[in-house]
Amino acid sequence: MTTITESISADVPTREDILERIREIQPILAKNSAQGEADRRVPEESIAALTEAGAFRIAQPRRYGGYETSMRTMLEVSAAVAEADGGASWVVTLSNVCAWMTGLFSEKAQDDVWAENPDAKVSGVLAPTSEAVKVDGGFRVSGRWYYNSGSWHADWAVLGIPITDSDGEVIDQALALLPRLELGFEETWFVAGMRSSGSNCLIAEDVFVPEHRIMLVPGAIKGEYATEHSEEALYRSAFVPLLSLVLAGPQLGMGRKALEIATEKADKKAIAYTFYTAQSDSVAFQLQIAEAAMYIESAHLHAYRAADDIDSAAAAGVYPDELVRARVRADTAWVIEHVTKAIDTLVSAHGAGSFAEVNPMQRIWRDSNVAARHAVTMPAVSYEVYGKTLLGRDDQITPLI
């Protein structure tokens, strides 16, 4: 007898299938990238193409028609999209990781999001920049959450809230799932890069959130999730490591694209005020290209090692210890640091023309540098976290490990 699960699984594409679909739509994404910047939102044609390609399904449970893939697939899909458009990649990345977080909630909460609309997209912010009042059956929530990437296209939001007791005292922290229709919206994303990511502000004014749509953050950091489906390996993945590493995906793709642009032009572009009629003839240029390539290749090695650590632990049903989790944060920081170094080198080698508005190199440079400043991936913070763990110190600077 063929079960429903077997029938759905048979329709799940492989990683290569999904990547091939992304490669087929890259011309559409690249064509729309400048318009997305101007509009400060990814054009609907790109969103439709990404939806059709299944880019928003990769972290959704198969029970709702998702692909329920892996950390490695999430990285590679984000990178493939970023080769064409960094802003679209950021939207895909954040929508997918918020879909993954939704998969950690109870089945009842997941049903609220996907039972009637399997295409529902979720945005989110972890910071509990809100107030929550305990009432019968849940909380009444008010607050403002900035930097909701993908907010233009989201149907739901997973948002940080404080947990309070009957006296109003904050006793814990949680994530709450709220329908986008119950939230206000304010355009606040006016920035130098990642302009099309739509990372705007969502606003709640005394919105009721039932208990089944609330999940405690300290428990999640330790791998204690609300989902009843413990057989689903993807939703056993380590919480902070996945939230951190997923942000490296767009960087990998932007680094690869910048290297491609610089190398493809090298035979046709002179080095001004020298006798070189082609950059590729210059030993100095060759050294810069090699250095940038090594930075990017090093970034991939660290990203894939960290992804494999997350995936193998999830498959085995083992929650990684603090040392591994801290190292994944450091791996992520290494990716961010080395891709931005590579792009800086490539922009300098490519020349002042990098900053022409018609040259995608300038958008890659801006997008990469803005994305690199995400609070969860800051190298200085992540290296300190890893260093303290290596030394066995008890004075950590964040619970997000």
**Domain of 84: which CATH number?**
1.10.540.10
**CA–CA separation, 15 vs 30, rounded Å?**
22
How far apart (Å, rounded) are the C-alpha atoms in residues 338 and 300?
A: 10
Residues 204 and 289 in one domain: no
Per-residue tokens: 340: 């931005």
pTM: predicted TM-score of the whole model, two decimal places: 0.95
Residue 156: which CATH number?
A: 2.40.110.10
Burial of 276 (0-12, 13-18, 19+ CB in 10 A): middle
Structure tokens at 143: 């607050």
pLDDT given at position 9: 53
Residues 382, 263: Cα–Cα separation, whole Å: 32
State the residue for tokens 């200085």: 380
What pLDDT score was predicted for residue 11?
A: 79
> What is the extent of the structural domain holding 352?
237-391
Is 322 a domain residue? yes
In a domain, residue 292? The reply is yes
- pLDDT at residue number 21: 98
Number of other residues whose CB lies within 10 A of the CB of residue 49: 21
Residues 336 and 381 placed together within one structural domain of the fold: yes
CA gap 341, 188 in Å, rounded: 29
297 SS3 class = helix
pLDDT for position 272: 94
State which of 90, 115, 140 marks the end of a domain: 115
What pLDDT sits at residue 5? Answer: 42
Written as six digits, the tokens of 53 are 């390609």
Cα–Cα distance measured from residue 401 to residue 391, given in angstroms and rounded to the nearest whole number: 15
Per the structure, how many domains does the chain have? 3
pLDDT in the model for residue 195 = 97
> Which uninterrupted H or E stretch holds 55?
none
For the chain, residues with pLDDT lower than 50 are 1-8
Structure tokens at 88: 């679209």
> Phi, psi (5° rounding) for residue 179?
-65, 140
Q: Are residues 194 and 336 in the same domain?
A: no
Residue 223 in domain: no
- Taken as a whole, the chain contains a residue count of 401
- Assess whether 163 and 66 both reside in one domain: no
Residues 271 and 354 in one domain: yes
Structural contact between residues 91 and 123, judged by C-beta atoms closer than 8 angstroms: no
Q: 229 CB contacts (<8 Å, ≥6 apart)?
A: 61, 63, 107, 235
CA distance 199 to 90: 10
Inter-residue contact 292 to 339 (CB < 8 Å): no
Q: Residue 3: its pLDDT value, please? A: 37
* CATH number reported for the structural domain that contains residue 368 in this entry: 1.20.140.10
Query: Does residue 345 share a domain with residue 257?
Result: yes
Q: Based on the fold, state whether residues 255 and 315 are members of the same structural domain.
A: yes
* Cβ(95)–Cβ(123) below 8 Å: yes
- What does the pLDDT look like over 71-82, one tens digit per residue? 999 999 999 999
